[in-house]
Structure 1
Amino acid sequence: MGRSDREAVARGRRLCGAAQGVVGDHARAVEAVRAALTPICEGLAERELDAIPVARLKEVTEGRLRLGEVERAGFRTVRQVLDAGPYRLRQIPGVGQQTAAQTVAAARQIADAVRETIAVHVDVDRPDAQTTALVVALHVLVEAGPEARRALDAARALSDRLGPLLDEARPVSSRLRLLVAGKPGRKRALGAAAEIRAVTGQAERDGVPELLAQASVDLLRGPATEIAALVDFELRSAEYYSLIAEISDRRPDPAAAEGFLPGEVAERVRGQRLDDTQRRVSLRGYQAFGARFMLAQRRVIVGDEMGLGKTIQAIAALAHLAAEGQSHFMVVCPAGVLINWTREIESRSRLRVTALHGPERQEAFADWQGRGGVGVTTFDALRGFPPPRGGEPAMLVVDEAHYVKNPKARRSLAVREWAERCERVALLTGTPMENRVAEFRSLVEILRPGLADTIGDHTGVAGSEAFRKAVAPVYLRRNQLDVLAELPALQHTDEWEEPSARDEDAYRKAVLDGNFMAMRRAAYAHPEESAKLNRLREIVAEAAEGGLKVIVFSTFRDVLAVVRDALASDAVFGPLSGNLPPARRQQLVDEFAAVSGHAVLLAQIEAGGVGLNIQAASVVIICEPQVKPTVEHQAVARAHRMGQVRPVQVHRLLATGGVDERMVRLLANKSRLFDAYARRSAVAESTPDAVDVSDVALARRIVEDEQARLSATGGSR
């Protein structure tokens, strides 16, 4: 009792004041964003409502509303009805009070629905005053980063805890007050002072005062210049859009964000705590759910569509485990993305990372064993390391996990051996099944052999809905359209070209030789007269005029060499191929992204379509159709992904009358199978085996059909 109690209360009051200051500073920063966001959303809503005809109001009232007089009076759109209001509508002859009120009510219902679906897009090439003001306001919160969010959570908790205690401890501030408080009052006041001492002491030991002070500095920092804010937006657009969704409360549909998991699984995942103290990045709601899914379910497949941040979700799960005291983690990935993984771990977390690759990988592995952290290695290198002892590493992450779908492959056996000895395993893949449900089942078998046995072929026959329900304990998948409202438009165009005479000659020779691969690239055999190459030049020239970056994908290195010669530009990078060391691949992508304005990156589709982030590009050219539809999906997703700020145009070059036509037709079934079983969709229309076409069988069928057709037609297409 006495001075020490008064000092404890004074310290508590200062800490509470700092906490309340952070809450207020954050609220003002959020309010500045809302003030900039509201007119943009209202303007977008008004334009949408201006495009909706009055007749749509009948749908809201199931046809009961009579709008003939309203339309004859000149009202054409829902917005005009809202602007008029019930008073003006009642002035129309034949429109009574009830009809006017119902008409406006129906219009407001549509307006509410429109406002819920508004998606704000920032055009970085042509920013207007309103969106620029929004980006400037958002910049304060983005710059403050996840540390400010952590400070805000701590500030709210402290304010809620200390506020009532400080009120109760008020008599401690002077001896006179303490005397007149009476015995019960003194007891309560002294008890509150003791509790305040404990709370402030713990906060000081945790470094909370310093956290609050830094957050206040960050939140009160003056706004950036418009140019600086727009440049930062282009670099970190995902963080800006995440804040827009949060502040405007336009989050994705909860069921979609949770992958349409059954209620009992979703509830368990929601209850999983997620510690962010070892993490340097904020998560979107669906990403936090994905990290919790990995932790709660322990052995899982995260099959999110490309571009939704599977890497970040895995890092968040690793950071949580590190915060709980776990020390060793392993990431296995293709060589081409090893550098990307090490960069992401370093920049997005406080975890130590070691690349276990190259000639000194055994020494690096020994160092990782001794010091801990995240080891990042390749499928091939993993085979050379001794399997772990039970329980270590704390989590095994396998990126591009469809690489291990063949249970007999050596890399699959190595991953399986490690997985058997790890308590937690996360298989990451945007393409969990390419040809057969059985391939997906082989991934499940790595995680839970017992569950794999229950989802045999009969589950596939039962249809996609039964399949997803059966694998729910281990499988989470979300699609871009369900959770990324701000993603720029993706425009696919099939560019059908009539082959030239020289194209025809090269194609006929390839068919007669029975050479499927030569058939696929015959359109580039004579560059000077190639119809596809001419169209590719036109697309690149159009992109150059607009200052847009282009990626050109092909399966074949000789096709990419032809393209490089045809473009003959200093702004052409690559080709990025599977033969390049991982460091050189990433360097090419970085150099391509660093160019100001137009540039072209050439890439083999299997090498450039896996793992790398190429958001700098907004035009994608695919030189020939692919045997596996998912290869094209992956390649396009390298550019059209979270963080992209411009619309993405995809041009697939196709030649009429030959192998391209047959591949497009036959592979449509494979794409439909993937949609039914790996994506969320209606019940499958047929069993998986009914539409499966293996790569070898497809090639043989096309060659034989084309040989027969050319023989019957005398060689013409």
Structure 2
Amino acid sequence: MRNPEPSKLLALRALHSQIPADIRQAGEFLMPKFVLSRKSDHYMGAIQLDDHPNFMTQISFDPDRDTINGCACNCTRGKRGQICEHLAGFVAALMVELDRSPNESASTLDFLDKYLLVTKVDHRNIQLEIDIEASDLGVTPQIHLVRFQDGIPSPRRRLTAAESYKLDQTDPFDQNLVEYIKNFRQILFYSQYAPYRKYPWGFWLTLSGHPRLRFQGQDVELHPADLELVVQEFKGGFWLGTNLTKSGTPMHSFPVEGGLLNFLPEEKRLLLCQVDGNRAGLVREIVEQNPVLSKELLLSNLHRLEKLQKIFHVRMPEKLLKSMSKAEPELILIVDLNPFRGFSLRPRIVYNRVKGDVLPGEGQLYLQAGNDVIRRELETEREMFRQFQMKFPEEWGDLDSFECEIADLDEAFRVIDWLKSESGLKLVWTRKKPKIRKWQRNARIALHMKGPSSLKIELTHKGEKHDLTPLFAEEQGPLLQKYLPVGENDWLQIDALLRAQLNRLRFALDRSNPQLDLKRIAPALLADMPFELVGQSPLLERVRRMQSAKAAAQPPEGFLGDLRHYQLEGYAWLSKMSEAGIGVCLADDMGLGKTVQALAIMYARKSVGPCLVVAPASVVFNWKEEIDRFAPDLDTMVYSEVGRSRRFNKIGPGHVVLISYALVLRDCEKLSKVNWGTLVLDEAQFVKNALSKTARALAQIPRDWTLGLTGTPLENHLGELWSIFRMISPDILGDWSHFKRRFMGPIEKQNNQERLDILKSLIGPFVLRRTKKQVLNDLPDRTEVLLKVDLGDQQIKRYEEERLRLLGQLDKGGENLGFKVLAGITRLRQMACHPILVDEKYKGDSAKIRLFSELIQELVAESHSALVFSQFTGFLDQIGLELNRIHVPFLTMTGETPVKHRKSIIKRFQSGEVGVFLVSLRAGGTGLNLTQANYVFHMDPWWNPAVEEQATDRAHRMGQTRAVTVYRMIAAHTIEESILRIHEKKRDLVDRILEGQEQAENLDVDAMIQLIRDQALA
């Protein structure tokens, strides 16, 4: 058997590469155990394992092409038609055997003697004969038994189940069949399965090469075969059949489970093909139909034959292929521009005289060209597309899917310009080619109110009128950009001013009904727009009134406050917006008198209904004092004192109820029973989380008009701005999903300046913000001093131990990693202040307290007053211990300080009785007037500098007559320095959005972990 068989070896290697790796590996252990034999083009391998019966494997080759016709093993998996480890080992062993060169063969033929010197042939006692019958139900084998006595056969009889147990001494050709019978005896003799299932492909494979087979009375041979479809010339036409027979030669096909049994009566052969049920049905249909087609009909059906290629190999006649026309492919670009869906680009291949287009290098090989057929140049097509793909800018897409879509119309026109100048390819428009004209300044836009709630938006340009209403009809429609669609493929290139005006108009429209209408907030959005207003409606009249409204020259009669010029402007603006019923946000800098402006409008609206003022608990009594001072006519009550009394049940116009945010949450149901004329939200950033219980409770309270007061409508991200506007005027920014898609994502993630400009334009009419630099020329100077404190040796050591412990814990990962990081950072910040906040056993001191002690003694000696802020109340306790040690009197206010005591504490400090005031950042950082202090200490940095700014402005505000010095203490080489870097990014966060600077950033878990790693001590 040691002959070199290069083509067979290649076929074996191809088969071996397809075997799964785990089965190949198992087969390699069996290689040495194989005994190989050969009969013609059939190779057999026998293997005897210690704990298993003899396994037989077999591979047969096509004698003409040396391709593998079939392979089998008599193990359970092999009989199911599956690759097993025995077959994998046999293939590997056979590859080694066939790979041996002739000079490795034995130098003599002695090995033949054991076959040639046998004196007597050992006839077996039993032989099996198989008769195969065919019917409508399929093919059924009848297995007959022939016994021999001294070489003389007895009359044959049908094999029974009982006799199948005694098949020990059988003919070698019966060996595979006998093994199959032993393994599947129950199915063969007792099952009620149909023939095609009872006798599957594995059964028929055991009869390959069997010498005693008869098919319907004729002696036949059975061999495995590969199945192909062929098209052959036949009687002036073309015959579609299989490679198993020639054109016009009859063949009968019978399905068996896992394959197909084909009978060629003229050749007296049975050919066994391994195919699935779907392909078997297809072949039988072709055999039964036996189609013969004309050339024209065949060519018109080539697309079907191509699809068949995915199932079978279809062999076409060479003469037919050579007769097909050749044509050069052309790469074209199919483009479309739609005002709602944007721009699309689809590279496609076209051929002359062929209808339609195809994907480059993809799909069918043959195309119909009239009465002719052309063969595509697939590789040429692919190369043409590759060249274009390489030139196409990556920022617009990779074209891997043969398509590019761009929603941004400005970007779309840039792509179109590039395609025209750089691609060198033909552009095919699915609609008409767009016509672009430039905007003329004398054009105008008119809003036509055709009925009580039917709005039409019309553009007049160069005497032509264009209905723009469809552009604004969809709530989720795209924001308008540089190009405005005004007809069928007709576009206007508009300037930035008109673009901003039209985009603001989009947010003024009500789409809740089939017809467009204006929202309640429309007057504020449209008052300064140069749109022509046509027709009558209540909202359109409000727009007209707001356009002609004059600023209020004086505060309302009876109001005792003396308003500065900018406060009068603020009151006038509030009057105009409240009259239109549009909620707004007064966002003046801290210390500019937002409270007195709010009191003025509350007083002006006293006849409308009762007023509810919601404020932090620490400033509720401040509101009471301010109302008693400037508007004593208002009947004011503090809810914590009267909420459960009969007096509350009698409130009406002229009444003001002051309540903390916490009590709103508790008594929301009771408050919701009153129809409030005015709702004032002091420090409106308290509702910056729309999902908080407090925010949801406030949303349920009925009111006619809402005013938000805050110096920081934004602290961290745009979602806070949306939440505040949802509370004061929900129509302005729409629902959360739209706001996130239109603004939050593009601005915060993509730094989209145009979207930022649109957002500024949109919220501008509803936010009034003035800074101290703009309106206060007489405010004393403020000096900022950054004190970097070097920690002592003992504090450094304890801090670094905690940092390394935390990193080790975080490196292990696990659940709730974000919470662990935040908790760890908090511990490090406390360590930077004083390790005793984390470790009660710590005996050392605090570098910050040591420096603070030196500074405060000097300040007190010179009769200065100081505010001392920290967010850690435990740190304030430690500072208090130090002040006691050095005999410096002080006051303290934290979140635990009862509200009823806060008023007296603040009075003692403001009167100058006590010069040092320790305040927790959250308890006293907002709403308080503490102008007695001319020094402010921030003992530890907060994540957001805006919070610290609010705290500082408790002292640096109107009423302050002395210069203010602000000390910010930072522990060097600690997490606090990292927080300081974040301050640089978040500084002036409100201005970034309200005045158009860069966007804010948030920290994710990875970024926070990096903060801990980056601040190793020097």
What TM-score comes out, normalization by structure 1 length?
0.57
Counterpart of 1:303, as a letter, is: A
Q: Which has the higher contact order (CA 8 A, sep 6+)?
A: 1
Take 2:909 and 2:939, find their aligned partners in 1: how far apart are those partners?
A: 20
Take 1:657 and 1:396, find their aligned partners in 2: how far apart are those partners?
A: 47
- Deviation, 1:542, is 2.6
Q: How does 1:299-314 map to 2 (within 5 A)?
A: 299-314=583-598
Counterpart position of 2:835: 525
Counterpart of 1:653, as a letter, is: M
Select which of 559, 567, 590 maps to 1:287. 567
Preserved contact between residue 510 and residue 516 of structure 1 (Cα < 8 Å)? no
Preserved contact between residue 551 and residue 569 of structure 2 (Cα < 8 Å)? no
Q: How does 1:298-447 map to 2 (within 5 A)?
A: 298=578, 299-322=583-606, 325-358=607-640, 360-363=642-645, 366-367=648-649, 369=651, 372-383=654-665, 384-386=667-669, 392-418=675-701, 421-447=702-728
- Deviation, 1:402, is 0.7
Counterpart of 2:620, as a letter, is: L
Take 1:353 and 1:528, find their aligned partners in 2: how far apart are those partners?
A: 56
- Deviation, 1:674, is 3.2
What is the alpha-carbon root mean square deviation over aligned residues?
3.0
What 5-or-longer segments of structure 1 have no aligned partner? 1-260, 710-715
Preserved contact between residue 356 and residue 362 of structure 1 (Cα < 8 Å)? no
Quick one: structure 1 residues 704 and 278, their matched pair in 2 at CA, closer, same or farther if it must change by over 3 Å?
A: farther
The DSSP-based 3-state class of the residue aligned with 1:450 is coil
Quick one: structure 1 residues 448 and 571, their matched pair in 2 at CA, closer, same or farther if it must change by over 3 Å?
A: same
- Deviation, 1:364, is 6.3
Take 2:969 and 2:724, find their aligned partners in 1: how far apart are those partners?
A: 34
Q: Which runs of 4+ in 1 moved over 4 A?
A: 261-270, 272-275, 387-391, 454-457, 696-701
The DSSP-based 3-state class of the residue aligned with 2:953 is helix
- 2:881 aligned with 1:572: no
Quick one: structure 1 residues 350 and 528, their matched pair in 2 at CA, closer, same or farther if it must change by over 3 Å?
A: same
Preserved contact between residue 672 and residue 700 of structure 2 (Cα < 8 Å)? no
Counterpart of 2:725, as a letter, is: V
Take 1:539 and 1:466, find their aligned partners in 2: how far apart are those partners?
A: 49
Quick one: structure 1 residues 657 and 704, their matched pair in 2 at CA, closer, same or farther if it must change by over 3 Å?
A: closer
- Deviation, 1:359, is 6.7
Preserved contact between residue 787 and residue 967 of structure 2 (Cα < 8 Å)? yes
Quick one: structure 1 residues 632 and 316, their matched pair in 2 at CA, closer, same or farther if it must change by over 3 Å?
A: same
Quick one: structure 1 residues 697 and 294, their matched pair in 2 at CA, closer, same or farther if it must change by over 3 Å?
A: farther
The DSSP-based 3-state class of the residue aligned with 2:731 is helix
- Deviation, 1:269, is 6.7
Q: How does 1:447-486 map to 2 (within 5 A)?
A: 447-453=728-734, 458-459=742-743, 460=747, 461=752, 462=754, 464-486=756-778
- Deviation, 1:268, is 6.3
Quick one: structure 1 residues 621 and 368, their matched pair in 2 at CA, closer, same or farther if it must change by over 3 Å?
A: farther
Preserved contact between residue 612 and residue 679 of structure 2 (Cα < 8 Å)? yes
Counterpart of 1:566, as a letter, is: E
Quick one: structure 1 residues 263 and 644, their matched pair in 2 at CA, closer, same or farther if it must change by over 3 Å?
A: farther
Quick one: structure 1 residues 705 and 415, their matched pair in 2 at CA, closer, same or farther if it must change by over 3 Å?
A: same
Counterpart position of 1:197: none
Which structure has more strand as a fraction of its residues?
Answer: 2
The DSSP-based 3-state class of the residue aligned with 2:948 is helix
Counterpart of 1:524, as a letter, is: H
Quick one: structure 1 residues 429 and 365, their matched pair in 2 at CA, closer, same or farther if it must change by over 3 Å?
A: farther
Quick one: structure 1 residues 387 and 662, their matched pair in 2 at CA, closer, same or farther if it must change by over 3 Å?
A: same
Take 1:391 and 1:267, find their aligned partners in 2: how far apart are those partners?
A: 33
- 2:861 aligned with 1:581: no
Select which of 595, 599, 610 maps to 2:912. 595
The DSSP-based 3-state class of the residue aligned with 2:706 is strand
Take 1:368 and 1:464, find their aligned partners in 2: how far apart are those partners?
A: 47
Preserved contact between residue 930 and residue 955 of structure 2 (Cα < 8 Å)? yes
- Deviation, 1:366, is 2.4
- Deviation, 1:594, is 1.5
- 2:979 aligned with 1:684: no
The DSSP-based 3-state class of the residue aligned with 1:377 is strand
Counterpart of 1:375, as a letter, is: V
Take 2:655 and 2:794, find their aligned partners in 1: how far apart are those partners?
A: 58
Take 1:262 and 1:488, find their aligned partners in 2: how far apart are those partners?
A: 38
Preserved contact between residue 714 and residue 989 of structure 2 (Cα < 8 Å)? no
The DSSP-based 3-state class of the residue aligned with 2:918 is strand
- Deviation, 1:545, is 3.0
Select which of 507, 511, 516 maps to 2:825. 516
Counterpart of 2:779, as a letter, is: L
Task: Report how many residues are paired.
Answer: 439
Take 1:703 and 1:279, find their aligned partners in 2: how far apart are those partners?
A: 55
Take 1:487 and 1:642, find their aligned partners in 2: how far apart are those partners?
A: 7
Preserved contact between residue 278 and residue 350 of structure 1 (Cα < 8 Å)? no
Take 2:981 and 2:969, find their aligned partners in 1: how far apart are those partners?
A: 15
- 2:795 aligned with 1:503: yes
Q: How does 1:38-117 map to 2 (within 5 A)?
A: none
Preserved contact between residue 269 and residue 297 of structure 1 (Cα < 8 Å)? no
Take 2:646 and 2:767, find their aligned partners in 1: how far apart are those partners?
A: 33
Take 2:909 and 2:587, find their aligned partners in 1: how far apart are those partners?
A: 29
CA deviations over 1:460-485 (Å, ceiling 9, x no partner):
43365443221022111111111111
The DSSP-based 3-state class of the residue aligned with 1:376 is strand
- Deviation, 1:524, is 2.2
Counterpart position of 1:203: none
The DSSP-based 3-state class of the residue aligned with 1:580 is coil
The DSSP-based 3-state class of the residue aligned with 1:650 is strand
Quick one: structure 1 residues 332 and 592, their matched pair in 2 at CA, closer, same or farther if it must change by over 3 Å?
A: same
- Deviation, 1:452, is 0.7
Counterpart position of 1:32: none
Take 2:1008 and 2:683, find their aligned partners in 1: how far apart are those partners?
A: 25
Take 2:705 and 2:964, find their aligned partners in 1: how far apart are those partners?
A: 37
Larger of the two Rg values belongs to structure: 2
Take 2:695 and 2:857, find their aligned partners in 1: how far apart are those partners?
A: 44
What 5-or-longer segments of structure 2 have no aligned partner? 1-525, 530-542, 807-823, 837-842
Percent sequence identity over matched residues? Answer: 26
Preserved contact between residue 617 and residue 639 of structure 1 (Cα < 8 Å)? yes
Which structure has more helix as a fraction of its residues?
Answer: 1
The DSSP-based 3-state class of the residue aligned with 1:395 is strand
Preserved contact between residue 406 and residue 439 of structure 1 (Cα < 8 Å)? yes
The DSSP-based 3-state class of the residue aligned with 1:358 is helix
Quick one: structure 1 residues 533 and 270, their matched pair in 2 at CA, closer, same or farther if it must change by over 3 Å?
A: farther
CA deviations over 1:512-558 (Å, ceiling 9, x no partner):
44332221122323686422222212221231232110011001111
Preserved contact between residue 789 and residue 970 of structure 2 (Cα < 8 Å)? yes
Preserved contact between residue 639 and residue 657 of structure 2 (Cα < 8 Å)? no
